[in-house]
Every structure is written in structure tokens, then in C-alpha cells.
Amino acid sequence: MVGCKIPTNSIIAISLLSLYVLGTSSLFTTFVSAQGSPTEETRTSITLIPAITQNTLTIVSLLIGTSSFILGLRIQNLTRSPATTTPISALMNKYFELLILALAIPSVIIIVFGIIIVGIQLDPGDFAYLLLLFALFIPAGAVLFLVKKLRKFSAN
């Protein structure tokens, strides 16, 4: 299979399809187990909070992980560029920053949404799930902080 190239469109389509299948299967499993018990209200709160936390962790990990990778590419681009920045290098830095913000800002919104949903359904024993969601602000904040610092660095 040397020299066999897979089209980029196919790779993107397969990736999006697999993410869709994984996301819908985890949601379907959550709702099936919540509807299956006779005490629907009690069972829903027991399975809903871990399911929301798990789905939020999965989505935010994907978004923050990807933005961290792109942040690394941007840092690498800044260190490789000569002392005088070329227009192409400046344009690449703007695109990198736009991609990072397009991934990091929705992750912060998803974290806040997860905290609100879990906070509404919170039982005294589920406080650890809420703390876990608050801990997701650490990597998201670090990415946003580094983007801000790199913007100042690239402006100099």
C-alpha cells in the first residue's frame, strides 16, 4: 500500500461520522437506562448526573485537546519565524488563533451548561461531579491565557 493516499474529505467524513455515532450511542444508553426503572424520578437523577458529567468531559476533552494541539503548532510557528514576520506568517498566526478560540470558547460554554444542569439536579452525594466540572475550567483557562500571552508576544 505504498503510495496509496486517502482523500482528506474521506478522513474528515469518517471522523465526523464516528463522533456522531459515539455521541448518539452514549446518549441513547443513558436515556434507555433512565426510562427502564419503575421509580422514574429517582432513577433519572441517579443516572442523569453521571451521564451529563461523562458527556461533558468527553466533549470538552476533545475540544481542549484539539485546541492545545493547535496552540502547540502556533507556538512552533512563532519560534520558527524570522525576526521580521512575513505576511504569510502573520496570517497563519491569525488563523491558528481563530481555530483555538473556536474550540476553547464553546468548551467554556459547555462547561457552564453542564454545571447548571448538574447543579439543578444535585443531591448531597453528587457533589464530586460538580467539582469535576469546575476542574474543567483549569485547562480551558490555561489555553485562553496562553492565547492572550502569545497575542502580546507576536505583536512585539
Q: Which domain holds residue 125?
A: 45-155
Predicted local distance difference test score (pLDDT) of residue 34: 47
> Does 16 map to a domain?
no
In the chain, the number of structural domains is 1
pLDDT higher than 80, residue 36? no
pTM exceeds 0.75: no
Nearest-angstrom CA–CA distance, 98 and 91: 11
**Cα distances (angstroms) measured from residue 63 to each of 34, 58, 67, 70:** 28, 9, 6, 11
pLDDT higher than 60, residue 24? no
> Does 63 map to a domain?
yes
> Does 36 map to a domain?
no
* Tens-digit pLDDT profile for residues 48-107: 778 888 888 889 899 999 999 999 988 888 887 666 677 887 888 888 899 999 999 999
pLDDT band at 29 (very low <50, low <70, confident <90, very high): very low
**Average pLDDT of the residues of the chain:** 75
Predicted local distance difference test score (pLDDT) of residue 105: 92
> Does 40 map to a domain?
no
> Does 113 map to a domain?
yes
Q: What is the mean pLDDT of residues 140-144?
A: 92
> Does 2 map to a domain?
no
Angle at 147 between CA 57 and CA 117, to 5 degrees: 30
Nearest-angstrom CA–CA distance, 27 and 13: 21
> Does 149 map to a domain?
yes
> Does 122 map to a domain?
yes
Q: What is the mean pLDDT of residues 136-150?
A: 91
Predicted local distance difference test score (pLDDT) of residue 23: 55
pLDDT higher than 80, residue 110? yes
Q: What is the mean pLDDT of residues 125-146?
A: 88
